[in-house]
Chain A
């Protein structure tokens, strides 16, 4: 294994030949360089996209802090080198190394991948390869790190099962400590790798695929998933933290320009809106909120310790934070004498939102973003995001009137049962918005319609539906391009190939692992990047393994189908999801569940946590029933058979 000094010497010879060498050298303020020999467990946290994107990832930042706060462990970081750097690293024999110590990843005890979205899968393989770690979990031995993945996409871990020793399902703040505690016994109690993996598999929220065996039916769907070891959970229930821990504030300050140069504070986690297409909304329940004073103090400390010009207050739906008005007032007051841009994403479409942003003195030039997602009442009922056209028109008119010249509206096409009329309505709505804007603010007003395509996601009410076909998507996009020709309306859309790629990776089963492997072998990587789109490579990988992508993307799923991910649960019951899917077909909306709990499954699963955290922080009702230990068979999400 190369020493850090050898790696540094080799790096010095190549770094001037690549774009932005600052990506590959570390040395950022607030990065933590610990003494290698002082730690029992060394963790490499990997975001498998380029530094410019990965360095501001909040999830990894939280884990970086959690691990580095321990006296017995250290955490370092690695990102995907861009292709110019990768080529030189391979040519010079430089393995993937961690930025802090410049040690090869293969020398760490634990390599943890963040996989928030599926288009990072091939990059994860590529990085394992670049690190010289065997790609397949089954080929790793005692000398190799344990390779783990977490993040939203791993709520269906099956497509990546062959490459990861384990997955973290749900939130990582606590589980990372359990994992490290097991890894500390790596050289004593768990010297045999299988024993170590079994110990990991027994940690609540950790899924070790080798101990689970799916059995298929003749039609290719799942018959059942067998557990191959005693004492491991089936289903594996996601982990959550009862109370959000203090937010990280010592953000790494990159020395080069990156995508998000900002500090952020998570104000709430989870969402009770229940938009049926929304993966994050379904899998991050329950809603837990931070207190205003805690957020303001964290924001103050984050700005002080980074010097960033921007602060983001993060949540899935800012308007739903109980104390949003109070928070905005307090943040405005705290930073009133400073040059700081505060951003508040995901606001509801109502004039109150404009007041909130106004109070934060957001930069006018940067535009105002809203997400109606659909443009007809029928469609909004189906997706459970109910806003009236009038609200949209009134809110956008007011935004223009108050001086913003640019509004960005997010829509999605391809929702279940969508017709061309529903798509036409998107164009009509955009035209109306800009026409109304011109009345109050003149010809300078601009609109950006960002129209993505819906991808049915596992563990959501739409996990039963088919993805829209390529032809339909193209026809709908052609309609929008034809209708939205106004030069002050900018239209952006997602290529159907990208949608299909995300679609089969999202709801794939274990057989997709071979497809991913072959696609990567044949050159697929950076799948989210325009210049790396290699759809044909993917299609031939499917063909090579005798699989049909339509099985994953377009096959209508039976109501009682057992999905490849059913032995993993986000604690929202399948029965509930199915009921909600049926309500969608009938055009029934469900209001915010904090007004009316629908018993989605969160409470019985986490009743003890809820009971220990009564009152305001959680937005699910208080639990009064007896403890789980007193009641048999609670907390097991029901499976539909």
Chain B
């Protein structure tokens, strides 16, 4: 049985990377006594797929993972068991059974939406700066010593001022295909907003049909 679990990742778990999340899900499944399917061989690994790596430091209310079980289980009780086996900063949002023959979860993701909350001091003429970025032909940036073009990875940008809170929200929709993934912190930097001053949350994953 192939399970598709949607969950949030907040608080302390924002600082847990992709591989550690994998181990965390494996251990949670063991604690919940879910019969995981393991690979053959010298170092058996559980069959778990995580839709899209979430950059360190960002929270999310839209993570997704597939877990394979060797026998069918009732989804309602399974969800409760799994939730109680997870650290408090992961909340299960939904559990579904997925088609066993569907392609790997990672290959289904095409884009992701993020919400960045930034201090108002960086919000002046934000709309025009967003527009300028969208109009640019290319946005060459350097990351880990490599130059790449950020522009084609940006699908849309939108400002949503939050009245009176002293903060402004930016909605970013970025490509999230294997080998072509936009990072919200890179976009913020290109907008002249120091990424460490922003709180970023992933709010949606967009899958191909």
Bound-complex Cα distance A12 to B27 (A): 27
**A255-B28 in contact (CB<8A):** no
In whole angstroms, what is the CA distance A24 to B44 when docked? 31
Report how far A255 CA is from B26 CA in the complex, Å.
Answer: 12
Chain A positions within 8 Å of B16 at CB level: 22, 255-256
Asked if B13 and A308 sit within 8 Å, CB to CB, the answer is no
Instruction: Report Cα–Cα, A16/B197, bound state, in Å.
Output: 12
Q: Is the CB of A470 closer than 8 A to any CB of chain B?
A: no
Q: Which residue in A14, A16, A257 is a CB contact (below 8 Å) of B56? A: A16
Is the beta-carbon distance between B87 and A365 smaller than 8 angstroms? Answer: no
Residue in A255, A304, A339 whose beta carbon sits within 8 Å of that of B13 in the complex: A255
Tell me if A28 is interfacial: C-beta within 8 Å of chain B. yes
Chain B residues whose CB sits within 8 angstroms of the CB of A308 once the complex forms: 27
Q: A307 vs B82: C-alpha distance in the bound complex, in angstroms?
A: 12
Contact code string B99-113 (vs A, CB < 8 Å = 1, else 0): 000000000000000
Q: Residues 19-37 of chain A: 1 if any B CB is under 8 Å from the residue's CB, otherwise 0?
A: 0011011111100000000
Q: Is A22 in contact with B15, judged by CB distance below 8 angstroms?
A: yes
User: Whose C-beta in chain B lies nearest to the C-beta of A11?
Assistant: B15
CB of B86 closer than 8 Å to a CB of A: yes
Q: Tell me the minimal C-beta distance from B121 to chain A in angstroms.
A: 15
Q: A29-B87, A307-B85 are in contact. Are A21 and B38 (CB under 8 A)?
A: no
Partner among A25, A339, A365 whose Cβ is within 8 Å of the Cβ of B12: A25
Q: B13–A15 contact, CB under 8 A?
A: no
| Contact indicator per residue, chain B 20-37, by CB within 8 Å of chain A (1) or not (0) | 100110111111010000
Which of B12, B85, B197 is the one whose CB lies under 8 Å from A255?
B12
| B88 interface residue per 8 A CB criterion | yes
Q: Least Cβ distance of B66 to chain A in Å?
A: 19
Contacts of B30 in A (CB 8 A): 307
Minimal beta-carbon separation of B81 from chain A (angstroms): 12
Is A306 touching B31 in the complex (CB atoms < 8 A)?
A: yes
The answer to whether A26 and B57 have CB atoms under 8 Å apart is no
Q: How far is the CB of B8 from chain A (nearest CB, A)?
A: 13
From B23, B42, B56, B88, give the contact of A27 (CB < 8 A): B88
- With CB as the reference atom, state the residue of chain A lying closest to B46: A339
**Would A15 and B15 count as touching, CB distance under 8 A?**
yes
Say whether A94 faces chain B, with CB atoms less than 8 Å apart: no
Bound state CA distance, A339 and B20, in angstroms? 19
Q: Quick one: closest A residue to B195, CB to CB?
A: A16
B73 to chain A, nearest CB (A): 17
Contact of B42 among A256, A305, A365 (CB under 8 A): A365
Instruction: Report the minimal beta-carbon distance from A345 to chain B, rounded to whole angstroms.
Output: 22
CA distance A29 to B89 in the complex (A): 9
Minimum CB–CB distance from B60 to chain A (whole Å) comes to 15
Which residue of A14, A22, A28, A255 has the most chain B CB atoms within 10 A of its CB atom? A255
Chain B, interface size: which category?
Answer: 20 to 34
Chain A residue with the shortest CB-CB distance to B20: A256
Q: Is A253 an interface position by the 8 A CB rule?
A: yes
Q: Nearest chain-B residue to A29 (Cβ)?
A: B87
Main secondary structure on B side of the interface with A: helix
Interface: B158 (CB within 8 A): no
In the assembled complex, B178 has its CB within 8 A of some CB on chain A = no
Q: Report whether A307 and B20 are in contact in the complex, using a CB–CB cutoff of 8 Å.
A: no
A339's partner among B44, B87, B196, B197 (CB-CB below 8 A) is: B44
- B11 near A27 (CB under 8 angstroms)? yes
Q: Give the chain B neighbours of A558 by CB distance below 8 A.
A: none
What residues on B are CB-neighbors of A257 within 8 Å?
19-20, 23
> Which one, A12, A14, A27, contacts B87 given CB within 8 A?
A27
Are B24 and A255 touching (Cβ within 8 A)?
A: yes
**Residue contact B24 to A15, C-beta cutoff 8 Å:** no
Residues on A with C-beta less than 8 A from B197 are: 13
What's the Cα separation between A101 and B17 when bound, in Å?
Answer: 22
As a 0/1 sequence over residues 275 to 311 of chain A, the CB contacts with chain B under 8 angstroms (1 = contact) are 0000000000000000000000000000011111000
Inter-chain contact B38/A339, CB cutoff 8 Å: yes
Per-residue contact bits, chain B 114-132, to A (CB 8 Å; 1 contact, 0 not): 0000000000000000000
Q: Identify A305's interface contact among B14, B31, B38, B88, CB under 8 A.
A: B31
Please, which residue of chain A has its CB at the minimum distance from the CB of B33? A304
Minimum CB distance partner of A30 in chain B: B87
Q: Is the CB of A16 within 8 A of B12?
A: no
Bound complex: CA of A381 vs CA of B23, how far in Å? 48
Q: Using A28-B87, A255-B16 as known contacts, say yes or no to A21 and B56 having CB atoms under 8 A apart.
A: yes
C-alpha spacing A26/B23, complex, angstroms: 17
- On chain B, the residues within 8 Å of A339 by CB distance are 38, 44
Tell whether A307 pairs with B44 under 8 Å between CB atoms, given A15-B57, A22-B15: no
A4 smallest CB distance to B (angstroms)? 13
B48 CB to nearest chain A CB (Å): 13
A29 to B87, CA, bound (A): 5
Question: A308 vs B196: C-alpha distance in the bound complex, in angstroms?
Answer: 34
List of B residues within 8 angstroms of A306 by Cβ: 27, 31
Taking each of A28, A29, A257, A304, which has the highest tally of chain B beta carbons within 10 Å of its own beta carbon? A29
Within 8 A of B (CB), among A324-359: 339
Q: How far is the CA of A21 from the CA of B196 in the complex (A)?
A: 14
A261 to chain B, nearest CB (A): 8
Distance to closest chain A CB from B52 (angstroms):
19
Docked pose: A26 CA to B17 CA in angstroms: 14
- Chain B residue at smallest Cβ distance from A27: B12
| Cβ A307 vs Cβ B27 within 8 A | yes
Assess whether A26 is in contact with B20, with CB atoms less than 8 Å apart.
no
Interface residues of B in 38-53 (CB under 8 A from A): 38, 42, 44
- Selected from B11, B27, B196, the residue in CB contact (under 8 A) with A253 is B27
CB-CB under 8 A from B11, the residues of chain A are 25, 27
Q: Is the CB of B13 within 8 A of A27?
A: yes
Q: How far is the CA of A576 from the CA of B38 in the complex (A)?
A: 56
User: What are 10 sample pairs from A and B whose C-beta atoms fall under 8 A apart?
Assistant: A21-B56, A27-B12, A29-B28, A255-B12, A255-B16, A255-B24, A257-B20, A307-B30, A307-B31, A308-B27
14 additional A-B pairs beyond A22-B16, A27-B88, A257-B20, beta carbons within 8 Å, are A12-B57, A12-B199, A13-B197, A14-B196, A16-B196, A22-B12, A24-B15, A27-B12, A28-B12, A28-B87, A255-B87, A256-B16, A307-B29, A307-B31
Per CB-CB distance, the 8 closest pairs between chain A and chain B, nearest first, are A27-B12, A307-B27, A307-B30, A25-B12, A21-B15, A307-B31, A29-B87, A16-B57
